[in-house]
Chain A
Amino acid sequence: MERGVNLPIAAGEVTATTRKVVRPARPWWQYIEPYLYLLPALITVLIWVYRPLAQTLELSFYQWNLIPTSPRTWVGLENYIRVFSLPEMQRALVNTLIYMVGILPLSVILPMTIAILTDNVRGRARNLYRALIFTPMIMAPVVISTIWRWILHPTNGVVNNTLDNLFNLEERIRFFTDGNLAILSIIFITGWQIIGFSTLIFSAALANINKEYLEAAAIDGAGRWQAVRYIILPLLSPTILFMSMLTILLASQWTFAHINVLTQGGPLSATTNIYYLLWNYGFQSFAVGWSSAAAMVFFVGFGLIALVTLRLSNRLAFYDN
């Protein structure tokens, strides 16, 4: 089989077993040709993703303050033990969960409902709505933070001004400095960016559903709700799982920029999350060991979540084959 290894895929060849085995010997450079095409991308990924990942693992066993001339001290597993007894870390973990759970309705439930309710809209109107609803997705996170800070500003923002005109507020709403409200504001902003994208994903998945199922169900006397419950939802299950996984895995990334720009984790760590904490440990407190240890734990943790979700989607999701 040695010779069969690098054969180009040709027409009519479906799998490796259908390949012709007898071929004239080919020059050596044909064996390395495929690798040459991969090389530029591979080098970049190895140097800037996997090598630093391995180095982070290494740094997680040392104490170091990011200053090149200062020594690194081996501390074994101490960073791992320390990191999880820190009160900020517990707060950050709880907040990370709040972000995930808070964003899910805006990235899965609401978009799915809207997509199902509006599936009947067709033609030019549909395209116009699509274009408008999608716009937040292409905006930069920093721009979005800046706009919302202006709109939600306690004394000059349009939301507070309008509410004050209508209801004569006793106290202006401090969306980003009130300890209870700040995290909700960041969840809202993050959801605002993602909701249109998610709605379009669900719409596209709905458009792929074979409408004959619905017609057959209608002939059998199924009501609207029954059609949704027994036909549409099962057929949407791969999309539901996909968007949920995306939210769980990326909620901390999506919120990072907003946290950094709007609250810096405050007031009193009310809005911090794990990634923001890692950033702070690394570049504000220069606790490289803590940051690296926590990063490794979350890398493995999120990897496991992804693995489980992919397994689940193979088992639970209903595919219309």
Chain B
Amino acid sequence: MEALRTTTGGQLQRSSPRSHLLLIVLSLVAVFPIYWMILTSFRADGELYSASLLPGQVTLDHYARAWNAIPMGRMLLNTVVMAASQTLLQLMTSVLAAYGFSRWNFRGKSILYALFALTWLVPFQATMIPNYVTLTQLGWRNSLAGLIIPHASSAFAILLLFQSFKSFPLELIDAARIDGATNWGVLWKVIFPNLRASIASLGVLLFISAWNDYFWPLLVTSHLENSTIQIGLQMFLSTDGNLWGPLMAAATTASLPILVVYVLLQRQIIDSFVKSGLR
């Protein structure tokens, strides 16, 4: 069969300089703006408008100015707490729900499943006004509770986990049941430890999307001290739209945790994004 790879149809197998060129261009287009953000954030004022691709004099001034201009530390803390709690809650509720869906046949199962599956068709804008009213009535506006609790479950996470729970070998579950484990025990002592890796990579995905979320914090918060870093950046941009150095420092700070996680775990992150897209 090897010989066939050089024939016409098999050309798809051979790596060509043209393919590399195409991918290099695409990679540069993807990464340049991010590089430019980081570069600008470290540039001294005198070189801010330089088109050079290399940093000249490196300074942390812009970071200091950004931290003084907006309550950056406070907003970062809010964002960390919000993203981490949302991730944990969503993992918890979706592990339970996926277990419920995969372990039993029960009345109304398909209706309940559809109820979760269809949430992605409900746009934020079709629920925002009543949710705003509810948040106000509960006194949850500008609070962490308002940022976190309404996002305690994720339909996306439930559907994704349901797929992996469904393909979990039933023999292992039955063996544990015969040994006297309760259903609750089966979940935490048999299934959870075995699926820890895919649950963890789902967690990373949920953390990234919580960290980057824009709509919900926009609805919940109106004071910078109680808001997330994304809203802070937007406010900063609209009040000091020409302080490009500090703005890029703030943007870099707002992306730093995500970029660090991405550099460490890019293989798993890409795989789980693509897998969820292919589903």
Q: How far is the CB of B122 from chain A (nearest CB, A)?
A: 6
Given A10-B174, A158-B51, A215-B1: A34 and B129 interface contact (C-beta under 8 Å): no
B244, A150: Cβ atoms closer than 8 Å: yes
Given A38-B112, A41-B96, A156-B244: A275 and B123 interface contact (C-beta under 8 Å): yes
Set A148, A150, A256, A292: member contacting B215, Cβ < 8 A? A256
A141, B212: Cβ atoms closer than 8 Å: yes
Chain B contact residues: over half helix, strand or loop, or mixed? helix
A119, B130: Cβ atoms closer than 8 Å: no
A10, B277: Cβ atoms closer than 8 Å: no
Chain B hits for A248, CB < 8 A: none
Please, which residue of chain B has its CB at the minimum distance from the CB of A275? B125
Range of interface residues on B (Cβ < 8 Å): 35 or more
Set B97, B125, B258: member contacting A295, Cβ < 8 A? B125
Given A52-B130, A120-B13, A120-B14: A162 and B51 interface contact (C-beta under 8 Å): yes
Given A35-B106, A119-B12, A214-B10: A53 and B127 interface contact (C-beta under 8 Å): yes
Query: Does B230 sit within 8 A of A, measured CB to CB?
Result: yes
Q: Mark B34-48, 1 if CB is under 8 A from A, else 0.
A: 101100100000001
Query: Does A173 sit within 8 A of B, measured CB to CB?
Result: no
Q: State the CA gap A13–B173 with chains docked (Å).
A: 13
Query: Does A16 sit within 8 A of B, measured CB to CB?
Result: yes
Tell me which of A205, A216, A295 has the highest count of chain B C-beta atoms within 10 A of its own C-beta.
A295
B127, A291: Cβ atoms closer than 8 Å: no
Q: Mark A195-216, 1 if CB is under 8 A from B, else 0.
A: 1110111001100000100111
B19-27, B55-63, B189-197: which lies at the A interface?
Answer: B19-27
Chain A hits for B274, CB < 8 A: 197, 200-201, 204
Q: State the CA gap A138–B257 with chains docked (Å).
A: 11
A38, B96: Cβ atoms closer than 8 Å: yes
Q: State the CA gap A227–B11 with chains docked (Å).
A: 10
Q: State the CA gap A252–B123 with chains docked (Å).
A: 10
B10, A146: Cβ atoms closer than 8 Å: no
B30, A132: Cβ atoms closer than 8 Å: yes
Query: Does B110 sit within 8 A of A, measured CB to CB?
Result: no
Interface size on A, residues (CB 8 A): 118
Set A8, A10, A55, A150: member contacting B248, Cβ < 8 A? A150
Chain A hits for B30, CB < 8 A: 132-136, 192, 195-196
Chain A hits for B241, CB < 8 A: 149
A81-89, A93-101, A217-225: which lies at the B interface?
Answer: A217-225
Show 30 residue pairs from A and B whose CB-CB distance is below 8 angstroms, ordered by the A residue.
Answer: A6-B105, A11-B171, A11-B173, A37-B99, A40-B92, A40-B152, A41-B153, A45-B116, A52-B130, A59-B130, A66-B132, A114-B22, A114-B23, A120-B11, A131-B270, A140-B212, A150-B36, A151-B33, A200-B274, A201-B274, A215-B10, A218-B4, A218-B8, A219-B4, A260-B234, A278-B125, A282-B128, A296-B126, A298-B125, A299-B123
